Amino acid sequence: MTNISTFKGNKGNKGNLPDKTCAQCGLRMTWRKSWAKNWTAVKYCSDKCRRISKTHS
């Protein structure tokens, strides 16, 4: 993973955004602005994956 602060000056350059793998389904997720404040806590790609993981734990 890459530090988000390095992307502030790269407006429009989406090829260098950090990504993660969903803990439930394995899908690669790319950083989104809505996740900026809690990117380190993001584990799942969707609400569906979050719900499935809670029922299986």
Residue 14 lies in a domain: no
pLDDT of residue 44: 96
Residue 49 lies in a domain: yes
Looking up tokens 């993001």, which residue turns up?
42
- The domain tally of the chain equals 1
C-alpha span between 25 and 44 (Å, rounded): 8
pLDDT of residue 16: 87
Residue 37 lies in a domain: yes
pLDDT of residue 40: 94
Residues spanned by the domain of 33? 20-57
Q: Which two tokens stand for residue 18?
A: 């950090």
Residue 51 lies in a domain: yes
pTM for the model stands at 0.68
* CB distance 49 to 57 below 8 Å: no
Looking up tokens 């690669």, which residue turns up?
28
